Chain A
Amino acid sequence: MPFLELFVGGLLVGGLYALMSCGLNLIFGVMRVINFAHGEFLAIGALATVSLVAGYHLPFLLALVVVPVGMALLGLLLQLLVVRRLTDAPLIMSLLATYAISTILVNLSIVVWGGGYQGLPGVLDGSVPLLGLNVSRSRLVAFGVAMAVSLGVWWFLQSTRFGRAIRSVSQALELATISGISVDQVRNVTFALGSGMAGLAGVLMAPTFASDPQLGSRFLIKAFAVIIVGGMGSYPGAIVAALLLGLLEVFGDYEFGQIIGSALLYVFMLLMLLARPRGLLGVGIRV
């Protein structure tokens, strides 16, 4: 078994999972809404990047900025139009609504981009020697940016006034409200931030993986596994679990083939749900 190659590959994939799952987990923590449309922000982010860079010949760096901002705005729009009305309703309502939004977005993506796979050749290609291995440049950049942004958002949550407001809404809604925090504002910003993070993950994924409109659902279930294993609502938990599950997936793929390899993630998630529902670093939220 080429242990080092697999280990590095797993970590690199895990970085992208971290970025995507942190956004999902943040939204769950603040609103107690499981956002089934989260994967579509990733897919549309990736497809929009392909269009901008390969179609309109704009620089990749520009897409790296514009697309996440666009996805954040799309997220804000959805939050204001739909999710806001369902945040305090029974869970099944927001679940159905976000799932319905997900099908709408998938369908629209198919209309816009077609059903096929789209690659982005010629961006960040080549490889870099690292630890005696040749590591693909696009994957390395994706990992670096993803980890930097995930950790940066963590710093934002820990150290800024607004970050503390987000955490207090997530941990003690009633106390946050009577402390004068605008819960609506926190929820809007969080939903936009989370959607932007998924969009960024999509941009970073575009040069490495072929993108298609169904990309979202494949990655969403992995993000679910990550936030369950890491602990629902726990930000650092999601980062640790993302790297862990990236490794598990890569080694599983190598040992058992791709289909059973990714099924391993869900099986691990189910075992975690049964053995320790609050996850590795979760704090046992009341639901």
Chain B
Amino acid sequence: MKMLVFLALLAVAAIILPFVCGEYALSFTIQLLVFAALAYSWNIIGGYTGYTHFGQVAFFGVGAYVGALLTDAGTPWFLAALAAGAVGAAMALVLGFSMLRIKGPFFAIGMYGLARVGESFALGFDGITQGGTGLYLTPVDLRPIFYTLAALVIGLIYLTQRLDGSRLGLQLLAIREDEPTAEALGVRTTRLKIGAFVASAVAPAAVGSIYATWLAFIDPTTAFAPMTELTTIAMVLLGGMGTVLGPLIGTVILSVVNELLWSRFPELYLGLVGAVILAAVLFMPRGIVNTLARRAPTWLPAWLTVSRGTLRRLSVAPKHV
């Protein structure tokens, strides 16, 4: 209930924002929302189901190209985004049956490799994608893009909150903590993993398409940028993996920090972002929400830091005894 009030407040803020802020702040918020959508999607497969997903940007990139090509052919951008989301889901369904059989480092390298295959093909099949030159699109009004993204992110937060309290969410957490045991206890692991994988692929593909529309441009290095992947995962980690509000908190903090670094030190930007992410991994590995849940100041409302400390075996215990 309190969560609903919070989401309603977010929605009101989102509705008002374009009327009170300038073009720059709107652009910044759009970028923040893109990353929030990516972070919430990654949270489903990486945070709850515990798969080391290092290739989400493959869905983002394919979505960007599907969207850009459709928009180029005259489709309205929101229809193109829907189509991109559907393509992302189909791709994840096919990949899910094969890739989810492998785990840990194999899955991580496999998905990372897939993103690189995507980039190579986008460069190589230049008859369709214009290769390294990139595709240029007609710029559109930013407000509808902003509202669409805001609605998507609020929807994703709501879905995550429903998932977190549900039997389904607990089953995903069980897969994360101990997959063979979960299976032995009757959790339909394969079906659930594929479901989580598909669910985590739709929004990145759709958002990729919207991102291309927003930039009015897409090329292989932008669409499949490893930096997008790194930043997204770092946002989830910083906020708290497998938590409801963690991805949002992580996205807001890292977006602001990145924007400040970008405006002050453009030449050292990449390295400084790397240093920030490294610091987050070393000093805040459980994330802000989980840390707060442990030592919450009394003035903080309890629903802000919902997290299940007892289930966090993988994130706490060493792998080797």
Contact call B117/A174, Cβ cutoff below 8 A: no
Q: Which of B188-214 contact A (CB under 8 A)?
A: none
8 Å CB contact of B273 from A103, A173, A270: A103
Q: Check if B116 sits within 8 Å of A266, measured CB to CB.
A: yes
B279-321 at interface with A (beta carbon < 8 Å):
281-282, 285, 314-315, 318-321
B134 part of interface (Cβ distance < 8 Å): no
Residues of B with C-beta under 8 A to A257 = 124
Chain A contacts for B269, CB-based, 8 A: 107
Interface membership of A61, Cβ < 8 A: no
Interchain CB contact under 8 A, A174 and B320? yes
Name A250-267 residues within 8 Å CB distance of B. 257, 259-260, 262-263, 266-267
CB-based nearest A residue for B318: A88
Closest to B120 in A: A263
Contact with B along A103-127 (1 / 0, CB 8 A): 1101110010000000000000000
Residue B109 CB within 8 A of the other chain: yes
Is A277 in the interface zone, CB < 8 Å from B?
yes
Residues B120 and A91 in contact, CB atoms below 8 Å apart: no
Q: Is B86 part of the binding interface, using a Cβ–Cβ cutoff of 8 Å?
A: no
Docked pose: A166 CA to B21 CA in angstroms: 60
Question: Are B274 and A100 in touch, CB under 8 angstroms?
Answer: yes
A225: chain B residues at CB < 8 Å are: 113
Q: Is A18 an interface residue (CB 8 A)?
A: no
Chain A residue with minimal CB distance to B46?
Answer: A92
Question: How many Å lie between the Cα of A232 and that of B105 in the bound state?
Answer: 9
Q: Which of A91, A100, A173, A267 contacts B104 (CB 8 A)?
A: A91
- Candidates A28, A93, A287; contact of B281 at CB < 8 Å: A93
Bound Cα distance from A267 to B117, whole angstroms: 7
Q: Does B114 contact A (CB under 8 A)?
A: yes
A28 to B318, CA, bound (A): 17
Interface residue? A228 (CB, 8 A): yes
Q: Mark B98-109, 1 if CB is under 8 A from A, else 0.
A: 110111111011
Asked whether A100 lies within 8 Å of B117 as measured between CB atoms, the reply is no
Contact assessment for A224 and B271 in the assembled complex, using a CB-CB cutoff below 8 Å: no
Q: Which residues of A contact B112 (CB under 8 A)?
A: 221, 224
**Chain A residues whose C-beta falls within 8 Å of the C-beta of B106 in the assembled complex:** 228, 232, 273, 277, 287
Q: Which of B99, B104, B113 contacts A221 (CB 8 A)?
A: B113
Per CB-CB distance, the 10 closest pairs between chain A and chain B, nearest first, are A107-B271, A263-B120, A103-B274, A88-B318, A259-B124, A287-B104, A100-B274, A104-B274, A100-B278, A100-B277
Tell me if B230 counts as interface (CB < 8 A to partner A).
yes
**Cα separation A104 to B116 with both chains bound (whole Å):** 21
CB–CB A103/B124 < 8 A = no
Q: Closest approach, in angstroms, between the C-beta of A281 and any C-beta of chain B?
A: 16
| A32 x B120 contact (CB < 8 A) | no
Q: When the two chains form their complex, are residues A34 and B109 in contact, meaning their CB atoms are under 8 A apart?
A: yes
Question: Does B267 sit within 8 A of A, measured CB to CB?
Answer: yes
Which of A106, A228, A269 contacts B270 (CB under 8 A)? A106
CA of A263 to CA of B227, assembled, Å: 20
Known contacts A104-B275, A270-B110; is A221 also within 8 Å of B116 by CB?
A: yes
A96 x B105 contact (CB < 8 A): no
Once the chains bind, are B52 and A92 in contact (CB under 8 Å)? yes
Tell me if A60 counts as interface (CB < 8 A to partner B).
no
- A145 interfacial contact with B, CB 8 Å: no
Q: Is the CB of B278 within 8 A of A97?
A: yes
**How many Å lie between the Cα of A225 and that of B123 in the bound state?**
20
Q: In whole angstroms, what is the CA distance A225 to B52 when docked?
A: 18
Tell me if A99 is interfacial: C-beta within 8 Å of chain B. Answer: yes
Would you call B230 and A96 a contact (CB within 8 A)?
Answer: yes
B301 → A minimal CB distance (Å): 29
CB-contacts of B44-72 with A (<8 A): 46, 52, 54
B156 interface residue (CB < 8 Å to A): no
Q: Is the CB of B46 within 8 A of A270?
A: no
* Residue B92 interfacial (CB < 8 Å): no
Return chain B residues, CB-CB under 8 Å to A111: 267-268, 271
Query: Given A86-B281, A89-B285, A91-B52, are A34 and B105 also a contact pair (CB < 8 Å)?
Result: yes
Q: How far is the CA of A88 from the CA of B230 in the complex (A)?
A: 21
Knowing A99-B230, A100-B275, A111-B268, the reply to whether A32 touches B314 (Cβ < 8 A) is: no
Q: B278 near A82 (CB under 8 angstroms)?
A: yes
Give the Cβ gap from A205 to chain B, nearest Cβ, in Å.
20
A89 to B104, CA, bound (A): 13
Judge if B121 is at the interface, Cβ distance under 8 Å: yes
* Contact, CB under 8 Å: B271 / A108: yes
Q: CA separation between A225 and B116, bound complex, in Å? A: 12
Question: Cβ of B237 and Cβ of A96 under 8 Å apart?
Answer: yes
Could you tell me which residues of chain A, from 44 to 103, have a CB within 8 Å of some CB in chain B?
A: 82, 85-86, 88-93, 95-97, 99-103
Q: Which of A172-188 contact B (CB under 8 A)?
A: 173-174
B150 within 8 Å of A by Cβ? Answer: no
The reply to whether B234 and A82 form a contact with Cβ atoms under 8 Å apart is no
Q: Is B233 an interface residue (CB 8 A)?
A: yes
Chain B 250-286 residues near chain A, CB threshold 8 A: 267-275, 277-278, 281-282, 285
Cα–Cα distance between A221 and B98 once the two chains are bound (Å): 21
User: For residue B18, which residues in chain A have a CB less than 8 angstroms away from its CB?
Assistant: none
The residue from B123, B241, B281 contacting A259, defined by CB atoms under 8 A apart: B123
Contacts of A107 in B (CB 8 A): 268-272, 274
Whether A131 sits at the interface, judged by CB under 8 Å, is: no
